[in-house]
A and B are shown apart, each in its own frame.
Chain A
Amino acid sequence: MRLIKYLLLVVVLLVSCKKKEPKPENTPVVLKNGMLVLCEGLFQQNNSTVSWVDFSSGDIDNQFFQTKAGRMLGDTGNDIQRYGGKIYIIVNVSSTIEVLNASTFEPIEQISMIENNIAKQPRYIVFKNGKGYITCYDGYVDVLDTASLTITNRIKVGENPEGLTIVNHTLYVANSGGLSFPDVDSTLSVVDLVTETETMKITIGKNPGQVIADNQGDVYVITRGDYSTIPTAITRVSSQTNTVLEYLNINASEIEKKGDQFLIANYDFNTQTSNVSLFDPQTESVLNSSFIDNSGITTLYGITYNPINDKIYISDAMEFTNTGYIREYSSSGTYIQSYHVGLNPNNIVFYD
């Protein structure tokens, strides 16, 4: 019977010796000289997080949202943007928009994106004239009044819209149709922001994703193909005529503006290799096909240029199931250092 005592004692000790969550130290009251990193986590795990990286001290708080809000962010944080005095976080599977004070990161409001008991599944957000435009997987772009923080309109577009960008008073929305894979969408919706209606659709290629405009007003759309025989590519569209100008045979998973130029990042899922090239949208030519030394990158998942310190930041998702890193590079693509953040970092907001 003594053995039973020992056994139970061991079990009690084992269960009671639990690791505690480390309390973040020196939580900043006002954010400066650092970056907010949105880490999307994994589907159905409710483990999206926001990391705060302090450039001055090197301190990292990987539960920064929870530290400030006292609750978790939710499932699949997909986009984070700063507009005016607020931070907007789009949480896809939880179907929420978290609005926080940009200076203090104190929560202001959580906007539910559930309507008639159907989750709208928001994806990305852009802003213009006090309004936020949010792509929702149910085939709409929702219009958010950033003053009242209410949805004022829903604009019908194509299937499972993803990326979007604004040129003057026109909104361009990529309709991916990704949830119908392999029967995906191939169109770019053109939306008049004055009337808040879709005026036309442009066929651009299978499975459109990110949309970005250059300084000349051309719109570039990444088409992700079928992940097999049809590779990723870039389609250039004129915002003057709303017609396709050319199809660029460049593999891309993300485009980031760096001044007048583009950084084009690509992660090849088949070969599991990462690449960043420098592209000139004026001449439509690749200036450097290996702009960044990719030897330290495991899984390139995002690229962000910080105009404040003129540095490039690569989101490394570490095979998607391990906590990720933000790799910091100089403006010329030389590796500087890494920051260990949460699971699947995808977007960054910088602070000076």
Chain B
Amino acid sequence: MRILHFFIALFVFFKAEFSFSQKKEKDTIQRLEEVVIIQAIDFEKYDYHSGLSEKEIEELTPVDVGELLQKIPGTTLKSYGSLGGLKTVSMRSMGATHTTIVGDGFSIQNMQTGQVNLGQIDVENIVGVVSSVGRRSQLMLPVSAQVSGSNFLLKTFENTFSSDTLQIRTTLKVGSFGQKMGYLAGKYCPKNWMISLSGTRKISQGNYPYLFLNGNQYLKGIRINNDYEDYAIRSTVGFRWKNKVSMRLGYKQSKINQALPGAVILYNNTQDERMKTEDRKLFMDVFIHKNRWATRLYTNGNFNVLNYTDPTFLNNSGGIDVTYTNRFWTAGVTLSWRNDQWELHGGFEEVWSSVRAVGSVIGEPERLHTYGLIGGKYMFLSGSNFFLDLSTQYVNEENKTGLEGQDRWRINPFLGYRSSVSGQWRWKHEIWYRNSFRMPTFNELYYNNIGNTLLLPEDAHQFNYSLRFMPIRKKNWHINFKNNIYHNRVKNKIVAVPTKNLFIWSMQNVGKVAVYGYETILSAHLRMSHQWKIEMSVNYSYQRTVDITKKGSPTYKHQVAYVPVHTMNMDASLYYQRFGLRLSNYGISDRYSLNENVLQNRVEGFLISDVIFFYTLPIKKHVLRLQAAVKNILDVPYAYIRSFVMPGRNYLISLSYAFN
């Protein structure tokens, strides 16, 4: 089956190559340059590590953000199930807690776990995704995101100004396992104003069949206790004046009620855990641009309540019923000044966060995290430039009901050199080094018996060299290459080890990890005629991520758990008039469920193929679009995490309407 899978992928790409050779015309837009522009302001397109445009996102028909981010090279997705399942992502093996998710210029955070559950971020309204590793400072990014190891930036429909007075978007999706989704959004932009309102509703039974390899045979099963239901409403009001001042004020509220199926446990199918999440976000920013100066003032707050229940847990309370309330508030300012040769920038941000629990022991921790950033870029006449940033962070920890973690202070540099574009192939080089760290999460510091208040932050060093070139630039077709070679080191890695008994594992700074990586992105575009067009992209990531904690240990220089050495995406879209067909392939090599690379820990790699058919009917300013997706078309049994099975072949039909 695996071979067949590859043949399909090969066929599509070789077919595409053949077609290219028939048509050699002039230049066109390169894919990397048409990726998302989060805001029109100060977003240097060429800084992007990689991204997905609105068109690509629409074609992929994702059910969650995790499906999008895994298309970006260097990412490692951990998915514990389909719709609603916990999903986290890390970039270049540094760990999910080194990665910041930014939505429309505001950080999405959870201080308790340190990582964002991608399964709980709405995907229907996302019109752009960008990954940035080692990017230079940007005015529209919060300072906390600028100094983190890597970022994923999400852009939504509702929070951006439009030149059209009225825009409407609506989508209805129906899919396998009882999936039903509805999305309705409207944006009204009279003169200088922008008012948007949107809502999303999703329901799924989640009872998908699966195959689970049990010894010499596959066990057939149906996922139970996997239902999911949510709603979200959002509203934003914005104002802008002569491209000099703009401001936004927005609110979002969502509620999720979901079952947690947990791992497939052989011979025991009794899961009955549930989780309810209520989330409220308020955000505001003001952007001012005058002559050589630009500044952004921003603030956002988040109130999140998570309730977890397990009625059959065999304790003396007759089950588990615990509620965690997370709060955080951010306020900051970014500033930049530039002339022909120099660009200076800086920023300051305060993040206050806390967690409270009922039914569990985590203390009453609060954290005040202060960020400062100053940096500059010198631009040579040739177009190349040198850049240097220095960031400082001070973290103040408090716990009102117990031991508290120590305050931390750090200064971290980020520097590099970027060449100008040269030659017929538009060669461009970049080399940079970034030092960053991440604080232990509230869970790691304070959670019941697991927490350890003596934990040190995890330190990360990243070295990167990039080479980009465009060997073919014709009018109707082009090929674009981007290559990265990198080396990362993470020390004081926080890992759980049994410190009391086998059931009670607590957090320790015992890990050191070295990462040797390579990424390549190839994109091509071919317009054969006014009616026919092909677009394709391939990316491949090599990540040798090894444990270098202790010489002589059974895991010394073994590949770290759940990091695949090889990751690959191969996508191709064929367009004919109003019809389109996309083949999307995602594959990862074998991984290990534990750091010891022995056969019994091996988790099989997989290659998943989706086929999406779409038809677009534009009528003046109205666009009607019908999509039919067959996901995992070859019905491959697979899992990102051992025992957390993913669905086999499934279907998703989408009908969307857009005005303007």
The reply to whether the CB of B568 lies closer than 8 angstroms to some CB of chain A is: yes
B1 CB to closest chain A CB, in angstroms?
Answer: 12
Could you say which residues of chain B place their CB within 8 Å of the CB of A7? 520, 522, 538, 540
CB pair B643–A44 under 8 Å, yes or no, is yes
Question: Which of the 9-residue segments B30-38, B53-61, B160-168, B585-593 touches chain A?
Answer: B585-593
Among residues 195 to 245 in chain A, which have CB atoms less than 8 Å away from a CB atom of chain B?
224, 227-228
A129 CB to closest chain B CB, in angstroms?
Answer: 29
Given the known inter-chain contacts A1-B17, A42-B594, A137-B314, please indicate yes or no for A95 contacting B215, CB distance below 8 A.
no
**Bound state CA distance, A44 and B20, in angstroms?**
49
Could you say which residues of chain A place their CB within 8 Å of the CB of B314? 121, 137-139, 160, 179
Give the nearest-CB partner of A136 in chain B.
B314
The reply to whether the CB of B40 lies closer than 8 angstroms to some CB of chain A is: no
**Bound state CA distance, A47 and B266, in angstroms?**
10
- Among B13, B217, B268, B607, chain A packs the most CB atoms within 10 A around the CB of B268
CB pair A119–B317 under 8 Å, yes or no, is no
B508 CB to closest chain A CB, in angstroms?
Answer: 11
The reply to whether the CB of B631 lies closer than 8 angstroms to some CB of chain A is: no
CB pair A16–B2 under 8 Å, yes or no, is yes
Given the known inter-chain contacts A16-B3, A227-B504, please indicate yes or no for A342 contacting B600, CB distance below 8 A.
yes
Given the known inter-chain contacts A1-B17, A18-B590, A74-B267, please indicate yes or no for A180 contacting B317, CB distance below 8 A.
yes
CB pair B265–A269 under 8 Å, yes or no, is no
CB pair B9–A321 under 8 Å, yes or no, is no
**Bound state CA distance, A182 and B538, in angstroms?**
53
Give the nearest-CB partner of A346 in chain B.
B502
Give the nearest-CB partner of B10 in chain A.
A8
The reply to whether the CB of B596 lies closer than 8 angstroms to some CB of chain A is: yes
Q: What DSSP secondary structure best describes chain A's contact surface? A: loop
Given the known inter-chain contacts A11-B568, A70-B217, please indicate yes or no for A46 contacting B265, CB distance below 8 A.
yes
Could you say which residues of chain A place their CB within 8 Å of the CB of B266? 46, 72, 74-75, 94
- Among A8, A183, A301, chain B packs the most CB atoms within 10 A around the CB of A8
A114 CB to closest chain B CB, in angstroms?
Answer: 6
CB pair B554–A344 under 8 Å, yes or no, is no
CB pair A95–B268 under 8 Å, yes or no, is yes
Among residues 20 to 63 in chain A, which have CB atoms less than 8 Å away from a CB atom of chain B?
21-22, 42, 44-47, 49, 62-63
B351 CB to closest chain A CB, in angstroms?
Answer: 32
B169 CB to closest chain A CB, in angstroms?
Answer: 35
**Bound state CA distance, A4 and B17, in angstroms?**
9
The reply to whether the CB of B312 lies closer than 8 angstroms to some CB of chain A is: yes
**Bound state CA distance, A66 and B215, in angstroms?**
6
Give the nearest-CB partner of A94 in chain B.
B267
Could you say which residues of chain A place their CB within 8 Å of the CB of B13? 4, 8
CB pair B643–A46 under 8 Å, yes or no, is yes
**Bound state CA distance, A180 and B520, in angstroms?**
51
CB pair A96–B596 under 8 Å, yes or no, is no
A326 CB to closest chain B CB, in angstroms?
Answer: 15
A262 CB to closest chain B CB, in angstroms?
Answer: 21
A316-333 to B contact mask, C-beta < 8 Å, 1/0: 011111110000000000
B188 CB to closest chain A CB, in angstroms?
Answer: 46
Could you say which residues of chain A place their CB within 8 Å of the CB of B263? 44-46
The reply to whether the CB of A69 lies closer than 8 angstroms to some CB of chain B is: yes
Picked from A3, A185, A270, the residue with its CB within 8 Å of the CB of B499 is A270
CB pair A117–B501 under 8 Å, yes or no, is no
CB pair B265–A178 under 8 Å, yes or no, is no
Total residues of chain A contacting the partner, CB 8 A: 71
CB pair B599–A1 under 8 Å, yes or no, is no
Among residues 257 to 291 in chain B, which have CB atoms less than 8 Å away from a CB atom of chain A?
262-268, 270, 272
Give the nearest-CB partner of B311 in chain A.
A118
Could you say which residues of chain B place their CB within 8 Å of the CB of A47? 593, 600-601
CB pair A181–B449 under 8 Å, yes or no, is yes
A189 CB to closest chain B CB, in angstroms?
Answer: 15
CB pair B217–A71 under 8 Å, yes or no, is yes
CB pair A227–B17 under 8 Å, yes or no, is no
User: How many contacts A-B (CB < 8 Å)?
Assistant: 171
Among residues 57 to 100 in chain A, which have CB atoms less than 8 Å away from a CB atom of chain B?
62-63, 66, 69-72, 74-75, 91, 93-96
B538 CB to closest chain A CB, in angstroms?
Answer: 6
The reply to whether the CB of A306 lies closer than 8 angstroms to some CB of chain B is: no
A28 CB to closest chain B CB, in angstroms?
Answer: 19
CB pair A179–B313 under 8 Å, yes or no, is yes
The reply to whether the CB of A14 lies closer than 8 angstroms to some CB of chain B is: yes
Could you say which residues of chain B place their CB within 8 Å of the CB of A270? 499
B583-626 to A contact mask, C-beta < 8 Å, 1/0: 00001011001111011111001010000000000000000000
Given the known inter-chain contacts A160-B314, A177-B316, A180-B316, please indicate yes or no for A343 contacting B217, CB distance below 8 A.
no
CB pair A318–B554 under 8 Å, yes or no, is yes
**Bound state CA distance, A168 and B601, in angstroms?**
44
Among residues 142 to 172 in chain A, which have CB atoms less than 8 Å away from a CB atom of chain B?
159-160
**Bound state CA distance, A317 and B498, in angstroms?**
11
CB pair A46–B449 under 8 Å, yes or no, is no
Could you say which residues of chain B place their CB within 8 Å of the CB of A42? 594
The reply to whether the CB of B532 lies closer than 8 angstroms to some CB of chain A is: no
Could you say which residues of chain B place their CB within 8 Å of the CB of A180? 315-317
CB pair B587–A15 under 8 Å, yes or no, is yes
B3-28 to A contact mask, C-beta < 8 Å, 1/0: 10010011001100100110000000
Given the known inter-chain contacts A180-B315, A180-B317, please indicate yes or no for A322 contacting B555, CB distance below 8 A.
yes
**Bound state CA distance, A319 and B554, in angstroms?**
10
Could you say which residues of chain A place their CB within 8 Å of the CB of B607? 15
The reply to whether the CB of B424 lies closer than 8 angstroms to some CB of chain A is: no
**Bound state CA distance, A108 and B136, in angstroms?**
66
Give the nearest-CB partner of A14 in chain B.
B566
**Bound state CA distance, A139 and B520, in angstroms?**
57
Among residues 302 to 322 in chain B, which have CB atoms less than 8 Å away from a CB atom of chain A?
312-317
A159 CB to closest chain B CB, in angstroms?
Answer: 6
CB pair B497–A319 under 8 Å, yes or no, is yes
Could you say which residues of chain A place their CB within 8 Å of the CB of B449? 181-182, 227
**Bound state CA distance, A119 and B263, in angstroms?**
15
Could you say which residues of chain A place their CB within 8 Å of the CB of B600? 47, 49, 62-63, 323, 342-343
B217 CB to closest chain A CB, in angstroms?
Answer: 7
Could you say which residues of chain A place their CB within 8 Å of the CB of B267? 74, 91, 94-96, 110, 112
The reply to whether the CB of B642 lies closer than 8 angstroms to some CB of chain A is: yes
CB pair B596–A117 under 8 Å, yes or no, is no
CB pair A269–B264 under 8 Å, yes or no, is no
Could you say which residues of chain B place their CB within 8 Å of the CB of A112? 267
CB pair B500–A269 under 8 Å, yes or no, is yes
**Bound state CA distance, A4 and B589, in angstroms?**
19
Could you say which residues of chain A place their CB within 8 Å of the CB of B595? 321-322
Picked from B479, B589, B599, the residue with its CB within 8 Å of the CB of A21 is B599
B628-660 to A contact mask, C-beta < 8 Å, 1/0: 000000000000001100000000000000000
- Can you show 27 pairs from A to B with CB atoms below 8 A apart? A1-B479, A3-B522, A7-B522, A8-B570, A11-B540, A12-B6, A42-B594, A44-B643, A46-B643, A62-B600, A66-B216, A74-B265, A95-B270, A117-B270, A119-B268, A119-B312, A159-B315, A177-B316, A179-B315, A180-B315, A181-B449, A227-B449, A269-B500, A301-B502, A317-B502, A320-B498, A343-B594
Given contacts A8-B9, A46-B642, A183-B316, 16 further A-B contacts (CB under 8 A): A3-B522, A4-B13, A11-B540, A11-B566, A16-B3, A46-B263, A46-B264, A69-B215, A70-B217, A74-B266, A75-B266, A139-B314, A269-B499, A321-B596, A323-B598, A344-B502
Using CB atoms and an 8 Å cutoff, list the residues of chain B in contact with chain A.
2-3, 6, 9-10, 13-14, 17, 20-21, 214-217, 262-268, 270, 272, 312-317, 449, 479, 497-504, 520, 522, 538, 540, 553-555, 566, 568, 570, 587, 589-590, 593-596, 598-602, 605, 607, 642-643
Using CB atoms and an 8 Å cutoff, list the residues of chain A in contact with chain B.
1, 3-5, 7-8, 11-12, 14-16, 18-19, 21-22, 42, 44-47, 49, 62-63, 66, 69-72, 74-75, 91, 93-96, 110, 112, 114, 117-119, 121, 137-139, 159-160, 177-183, 185, 224, 227-228, 269-270, 301, 317-323, 342-344
List of 8 A-B pairs having minimum Cβ-Cβ separation, nearest first? A227-B500, A1-B17, A71-B215, A44-B263, A322-B554, A180-B315, A180-B316, A74-B266
